[in-house]
């Protein structure tokens, strides 16, 4: 066994209480195998990588159990013997490729440093580097070696890091969310490269991810973690196709499918408790959110029991769970073409001039962020805008909101042309159009309470409302967005990610807009919380007949929500039309490539595709 954990427990000392952040984790990873650690943020999946690298946060310690690498104890061994292993026999691929490389050093210098450390003779180094970079399909190694990290794209940096990680032919590679920060098409390439290297060099791979579907394609075995506990452990295919633990089932069901009939996503209530909340969970840690929980679940910790050889589940009730009632089919019929047009964009474009230096000379070329495009949004219609980073989809949102002035073209709202920046057009835009920002952490002023945040727009009115009215409005909005009214006096730092995003949406709803612009509003959320937010948007559509421009990189989510969609690349619309039609029969090569790059729900469909590269 390359890596073996036996009843590993990691605890955090908080005041006088000890909280088990990772409880009783056992697994073994054989050479040439890929083990997936799947879980939502805060489940403890990164903790194992930190135990290996001895990089546990302060106050964290290994309570009991052990972790061994090729028979050598990693927990008790001396720092010297451990650091001899790290980087040489055990390598890491990080989550954020751009920050993992030193921006002040060329790729070559960082690579040489690593080769020196693993004892490659100086004369062999250039050849080794070129070969390693070719293995990760960087076809012009000399140029890459001479570059600084910021001159390369995120995907290229990640390939460099993979090349460095595999340079010493390690026995084990730990990859912590290696594709989360990257585009879909880049993700496919990275996965393909890592799988290829791992097979060629007989490396064992520990693949940490939040994406169950991705893990099902990449891994041989999967370990599902919830609140620091292994809830299910088994062959990847079995877990993905027939999950047994209620949490794994919920995780699988909460992810919208890129194919098949659309049904309303079942979503779990609340969210996973934070570390401090683990202490109060006496029995099964999933019990408070479990749809099938019984009184005993709240008091007794269930054991991890093998149901079939090789497949273990931490739930005694698996056989008693009846198949959940078939959820209702979803209506995403295209808005009636007779319903009125709310937003109309004609020939809309944005060109960013190159910045000029002190002498008036242009520094680099300008950027066509959005090339001329036309589209309409009708009342109650959800339009998806799909594209990878740099496709101009966020600039489009800023143009619609009036945060950028268009280089050409016009926007009409409710039949009125917004041709000048006057008080009336501003008023009209404010009353009709609102925006939900991507990152609620940054979009909510940390010094405002929830009440002040959701009713923030009232402060911009000339006439002041009485405070009771403002409070009542805040309560109504919290109610409408599924938030408890008790949260009204809280501050953003006291809310979970999902709650913050709901506050973010509630704030946009305060003016009762007819159209919302949502820029990647679910990309930072866990799957179960994402399902809650998506369903909230559908409910709003049913109740308020609100329209939505939904900007996303995730095709399945767009398919779930939107009846029509626009595919953008490099600022240009490459395909536009009804979602079902585009999914059934994509016309443009780029759209086809995008579909091919996303991991399919069907495990028999080989993924990543042979030629995953888009660029």
Partner 1 sequence: MIVLSERSRAAWGRCLSSPRVLAGACLIVILLLVALFAPWLAPHDPQDQDLLSTLLPPFWMAEADPAYPLGTDTLGRCILSRLIYGTRIALYVAIVAASGAMLVGTVLAVVSGYFGGTIDWLISRAVDIWMAFPPVVLALILLVGLGAGVNKVILAIVLIDWTRFCRVIRSEVLVTMTLDYIPAAKILGFSHARIMLKEILPAVTPLIITVLSIEMGIAVIVEAIMSFVGMSVESNVAAWGVMIADARTTMHQAPWSVVFPIGAIFLTVLAFNLLGDGLRRALDGRLVQRNG
Residue ranges binding partner 1 (CB under 8 A): 58, 398, 401-403, 426-427, 430, 434-435, 437-439, 442-447, 449, 456-457, 459-461, 489, 491, 493-494, 507, 511
Q: Which residue has the tokens 């939900």?
A: 436
Minimum gap (Å) between residue 538 Cβ and partner 1: 24
Q: b/e map of 586-598 (b: 16 or more CB within 10 Å)? A: beeebbebbbbbb
Minimum gap (Å) between residue 410 Cβ and partner 1: 20
Count CB neighbours of 122 within 10 A.
Answer: 9
Alpha helices in 347-411 (DSSP H): 393-400
Minimum gap (Å) between residue 345 Cβ and partner 1: 17
CA distances from residue 449 to 65, 471, 502, 505 in whole angstroms, order as listed: 44, 11, 14, 15
Nearer to partner 1, 101 or 517 (CB): 517
Angle at 180 between CA 440 and CA 90, to 5 degrees: 130
Distance separating alpha carbons of residues 274 and 178, to the nearest angstrom: 24
The half-sphere exposure of 615 on its side-chain side, counting CA atoms within 13 A, is: 16
Nearer to partner 1, 232 or 519 (CB): 519
Q: Which two tokens stand for residue 203?
A: 């490396």
Minimum gap (Å) between residue 305 Cβ and partner 1: 40
Minimum gap (Å) between residue 442 Cβ and partner 1: 4
Question: Strand, helix or coil at 258?
Answer: coil
Minimum gap (Å) between residue 59 Cβ and partner 1: 9
Minimum gap (Å) between residue 457 Cβ and partner 1: 4
Residues 6+ apart with CB under 8 A from 342: 377, 378, 379, 413, 414, 432, 514, 515, 547
Minimum gap (Å) between residue 466 Cβ and partner 1: 19
Which phi-psi region, left, alpha or beta, contains residue 335 (left: φ > 0; alpha: ψ -120 to 50)? beta
Minimum gap (Å) between residue 511 Cβ and partner 1: 8
Minimum gap (Å) between residue 32 Cβ and partner 1: 41
Minimum gap (Å) between residue 266 Cβ and partner 1: 31
Nearer to partner 1, 418 or 444 (CB): 444
How do strand 17-29 and strand 3-14 relate by DSSP bridges?
A: antiparallel
Nearer to partner 1, 7 or 494 (CB): 494
Distance separating alpha carbons of residues 213 and 143, to the nearest angstrom: 35
Nearer to partner 1, 100 or 430 (CB): 430
Minimum gap (Å) between residue 506 Cβ and partner 1: 13
Minimum gap (Å) between residue 229 Cβ and partner 1: 27
Nearer to partner 1, 310 or 366 (CB): 366
Nearer to partner 1, 398 or 475 (CB): 398
- What number of H helices and E strands is found in the chain? 21, 22
The half-sphere exposure of 45 on its side-chain side, counting CA atoms within 13 A, is: 27
Nearer to partner 1, 163 or 348 (CB): 348
Minimum gap (Å) between residue 49 Cβ and partner 1: 21
Nearer to partner 1, 137 or 490 (CB): 490
Residues 6+ apart with CB under 8 A from 95: 176, 177, 178, 180, 181
Distance separating alpha carbons of residues 485 and 182, to the nearest angstrom: 37
Distance separating alpha carbons of residues 157 and 477, to the nearest angstrom: 44
Q: What DSSP letter does each residue of 518-567 carry, written as one string? A: EESTTTTS-HHHHHHHHHHHHHHHHHH--EEEEEES-HHHHHHH-SEEEE
Nearer to partner 1, 283 or 402 (CB): 402
Nearer to partner 1, 117 or 426 (CB): 426
Distance separating alpha carbons of residues 446 and 450, to the nearest angstrom: 10
Nearer to partner 1, 292 or 430 (CB): 430
Distance separating alpha carbons of residues 286 and 298, to the nearest angstrom: 9
Q: Which two tokens stand for residue 521?
A: 């509003």
Distance separating alpha carbons of residues 17 and 230, to the nearest angstrom: 22
Distance separating alpha carbons of residues 224 and 212, to the nearest angstrom: 9
DSSP H or E segment with residue 219:
none
Nearer to partner 1, 431 or 580 (CB): 431
Nearer to partner 1, 216 or 450 (CB): 450
């Amino acid at each position: 066994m390359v890596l073996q954990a036996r009843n590993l427990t990691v605890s955090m000392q908080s005041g006088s209480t000890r909280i088990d952040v990772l409880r009783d984790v056992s697994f073994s990873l054989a050479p040439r195998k890929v083990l997936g650690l799947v879980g939502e943020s805060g489940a403890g999946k990164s903790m194992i990588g930190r135990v290996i690298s001895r990089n546990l946060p302060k106050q964290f310690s290994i309570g009991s159990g052990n972790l061994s690498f090729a028979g050598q104890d990693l927990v008790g061994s001396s720092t010297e013997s451990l650091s001899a292993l790290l980087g040489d026999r055990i390598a890491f691929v990080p989550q954020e490729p751009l920050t993992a490389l030193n921006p002040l050093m060329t790729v070559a210098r960082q690579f040489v440093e690593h080769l020196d450390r693993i004892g490659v003779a100086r004369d062999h180094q250039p050849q080794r580097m070129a070969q390693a970079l070719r293995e990760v399909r960087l076809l012009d190694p000399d140029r890459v070696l001479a570059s600084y990290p910021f001159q390369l794209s995120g995907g290229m940096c990640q390939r460099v890091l993979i090349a460095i990680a595999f340079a010493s032919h390690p026995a084990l590679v730990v990859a912590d969310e290696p594709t989360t920060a990257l585009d879909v098409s880049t993700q496919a390439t990275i996965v393909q490269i890592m799988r290829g290297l791992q097979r060629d060099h007989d490396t064992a791979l520990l693949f940490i991810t939040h994406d169950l579907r991705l893990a099902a394609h990449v891994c041989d075995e999967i370990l599902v973690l919830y609140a620091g506990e292994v809830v299910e452990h088994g062959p990847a295919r079995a877990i993905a196709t027939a999950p047994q633990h209620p949490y794994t089932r919920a995780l699988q069901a909460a992810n919208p499918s890129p194919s098949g009939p659309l049904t309303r996503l079942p979503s779990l209530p609340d969210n996973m408790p934070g570390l401090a909340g683990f202490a109060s969970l006496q029995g099964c840690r999933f019990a408070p959110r479990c749809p099938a929980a019984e009184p005993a679940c709240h008091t007794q910790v269930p054991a991890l029991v093998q149901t079939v050889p090789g497949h273990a589940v931490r739930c005694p009730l698996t056989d008693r769970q009846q198949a959940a009632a078939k959820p209702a089919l979803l209506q995403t019929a295209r808005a009636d073409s007779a319903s009125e047009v709310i937003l109309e964009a004609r020939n809309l474009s944005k060109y960013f001039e190159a910045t000029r230096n002190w002498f008036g000379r242009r520094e680099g070329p300008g950027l066509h962020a959005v090339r001329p495009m036309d589209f309409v949004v009708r009342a109650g219609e959800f339009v998806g805008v799909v594209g990878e980073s740099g496709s101009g989809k966020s600039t489009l949102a800023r143009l619609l909101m009036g945060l950028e002035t268009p280089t050409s073209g016009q926007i009409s709202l409710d039949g009125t042309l917004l041709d000048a920046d006057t008080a009336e057009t501003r008023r009209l835009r404010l009353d009709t159009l609102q925006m939900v920002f991507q990152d609620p952490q940054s979009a909510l002023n940390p010094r405002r309470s929830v009440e002040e945040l959701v009713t923030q727009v009232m402060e911009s009115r000339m006439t002041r409302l009485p405070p009771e009215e403002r409070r009542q409005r805040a309560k109504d909005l919290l109610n409408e967005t599924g938030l408890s009214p008790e949260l009204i006096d809280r501050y953003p730092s006291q809310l979970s990610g999902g709650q913050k995003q709901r506050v973010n949406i509630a704030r946009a709803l305060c003016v009762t807009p007819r159209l919302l612009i949502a820029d990647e509003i679910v990309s930072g959320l866990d799957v179960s919380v994402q399902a809650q937010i998506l369903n909230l948007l559908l409910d709003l559509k049913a109740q308020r007949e609100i329209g939505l421009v939904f900007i996303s990189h995730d095709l399945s989510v767009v398919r779930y929500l939107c009846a029509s969609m626009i595919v953008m690349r490099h600022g240009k619309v490459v395909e536009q039309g009804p979602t079902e039609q585009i999914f059934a029969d994509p016309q443009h090569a780029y759209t086809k490539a995008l579909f091919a790059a996303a991991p399919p729900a069907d495990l028999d469909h080989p993924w990543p595709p042979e030629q995953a590269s888009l660029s």
